[in-house]
Amino acid sequence: MLLATTDDRDPFTAAIAAAKRSHHADVAKWQEDLTVMTAELSAKFFGTRSVEMIRAGLAMAVKLLGMGLLEQTKGTPDVNAWVQALERLGLKGITAAAIERFKTVATLPESPVLEGLEETAPRTLRRLATSCADAKAAWQWLERHAATRREYLGTIRLAKWLLTQTPSGRVKANNLRHSDAGTDMLLADEVIDEIMANICGLPRPLDDMGLIEPCKVSAAKYREARAAYETLEARLDEGLKRALEFNGRTWFDRFVMEGKSGKAPTKKEKRSAVPVPIDIAPEAIQ
């Protein structure tokens, strides 16, 4: 019976060490499988089988296996559970779990554009994640990356819903159909801002980049805008409602203030219009 449940080492290294201490029957097989996996990764990702390339392949193998083990415990360090996962799945199964996670994340949008952006190859995400210092850092990077992409997906869903389910959105969609650019590389949050401003009957002061800024309106106009916003919000499912929020504030609270009409001095809190920086993992630049 294994007694250790936590270990500061890499998940795969910690699991093998615990299995050795308990004289686990599969340790030798796991080590042989690791040798084969290292050779395959070295040849596939690093080319020649020099000492340096073999070391690079081994480092990638250990990180991938560590990520697969962390996937089994949802990021919680648990050596006993990792050994049990190795028993159940073997190295191939653990690696497959990590690769499947990359595939899932790669299907999510890397930027909040409606159309025209190609998916990121899972292979690219794998190389970026394994450039992190260790398996734990790689797993955490991929989780943060996935969360950002899910936020983008929600923004795109909301923009498409507004374009088809609201009068202002249908006018916007018709204009886009008759424009040269169409919806290719059109930012979803800019579409949302424009349609929501129309729905709420708001003026649309623009900043130097052409983005809608917050505005102050009279008390009567504020009540009308609030009523229009709440009517629309009641039609949205929970996922679409979350897409209207940013940093814990609703679209209405970020853009509309009661007071004298005119442009507000506070700049809009704007979600990044730049694709997720997938080419820069936290430890990729040393």
Please check the confidence at residue 205 and state whether its pLDDT lies above 70.
no
**Domain range list for the chain:** 11-150, 153-263
Render the burial of 121-151: b for 16+ CB within 10 Å, e for the rest. ebeebbbbbbbbebbbbbbbbbbebbebbeb
pLDDT for 232 equals: 97
- The H or E element spanning position 205 is none
pLDDT at site 275:
47
pLDDT at 181: 63
* Average of per-residue pLDDT across 146-172: 95
pLDDT digits (tens, 9 = 90+) for 91-110: 999 999 999 999 999 999 99
> Which is it for strands 256-258 and 215-217: parallel, antiparallel or unpaired?
parallel
Mean per-residue pLDDT of the chain = 85
**pLDDT interval class at 211 (50, 70, 90):** low
Q: Tell me, what's the pLDDT at 273?
A: 44
The answer on pLDDT for 261 being more than 60 is: no
Give me the pLDDT at residue 266, please: 45
Question: How many Å apart are CA 15 and CA 234, to the nearest integer?
Answer: 50
The sheet with strand 256-258 has its strands ordered as: 256-258, 215-217, 262-263
pLDDT in tens, 46-90: 876 788 889 999 999 999 999 999 999 999 999 999 999 999 999
Q: What is the pLDDT of residue 202?
A: 86
Q: What is the mean pLDDT of residues 254-277?
A: 57
Q: What's the confidence (pLDDT) of residue 48?
A: 67
pLDDT value, residue 245: 92
Q: Is 285 exposed, middle or buried (0-12, 13-18, 19+ CB in 10 A)?
A: exposed
pLDDT higher at 268 or 260: 260
Q: What is the pLDDT of residue 177?
A: 85
Quick: pLDDT tens for 120-135: 889 899 989 999 999 9
Tens of pLDDT along 105-121?
999 999 888 886 777 88
Place of tokens 């899910």: 150
Q: Does residue 267 have a pLDDT over 50?
A: no
User: Where are the extended beta strands (E) located within the chain?
Assistant: 215-217, 245-246, 249-250, 256-258, 262-263
